[in-house]
Amino acid sequence: MAAGGLTSQIIVRERQGKSICLLHALKVPPDEVDWAERLALQIGLSAERIRKEPTAEITQADIDAADPSCRSRLASGTLICGSITEQNLKMEGHDPNFAPAVPFVTCFAGVVGAAETTKDLMCLSRPFHYQRSFLSYRGRGLQLKCASTCECQRGGRVFGL
């Protein structure tokens, strides 16, 4: 389920079906950095240290190796995960590209998701992709399928759920 501005969307996928999966529907941009690289840029620690030891204490060596603009926010003996939490809660500024969903749009997406979960539990569900705009009051259902080359179609692994 997703909601943003005055638009909501839900994608329902069968566990072993050929309908579209999130791997195919939401392609990662080639220039997007991974979560550890993003955090490394924001808090100043190395991405490798964040990946391998997220619950370790920050050392003086970490502080010395950090970007000079980040050093004042790092404290020796503080947990790396604590600095990440601090970053998530306090250090992010206003983003002019962020548009929160209107509460009733988020509620609608949740209701549709709950209805589809109930249908699935009753073995009545079938895959679909539904989009609704409260600005135009239009909605549409799409039957999208993954290509046979999609990673979700290989072996017994289930992706995108």
What is the residue-averaged pLDDT of the chain? 80
Domain that holds residue 83: 35-91
Continuous H helices in 33-160 = 35-43, 47-52, 60-65, 80-86, 103-121
Split into its structural domains, the chain has a count of: 2
110 and 87 co-located in one domain? no
> How far are the Cα atoms of 9, 25, 66, 71, 99 from residue 112, in angstroms, in the given order?
9, 19, 46, 46, 21
Instruction: State residue 81's pLDDT score.
Output: 92
159 part of a folded domain: no
Instruction: State residue 156's pLDDT score.
Output: 45
* pLDDT, average across residues 92-105: 76
More confident residue, 79 or 14: 79
- The alpha carbon dihedral of 103, 121, 24, 135 has a sign of negative
More confident residue, 4 or 76: 76
Does the pLDDT at position 85 exceed 80?
yes
Among candidates 82, 42, 83, 46, which has minimal Cα distance to 64? 46
Beta carbons of 23 and 160 less than 8 angstroms apart: yes
158 part of a folded domain: no
Beta carbons of 159 and 22 less than 8 angstroms apart: yes
What global pTM score does this model have? Answer: 0.48
46 part of a folded domain: yes
Among candidates 114, 113, 108, 47, which has minimal Cα distance to 80? 47
Determine what percent of the chain is predicted with pLDDT higher than 70: 84
Helix/strand/coil for 93: coil
More confident residue, 88 or 161: 88
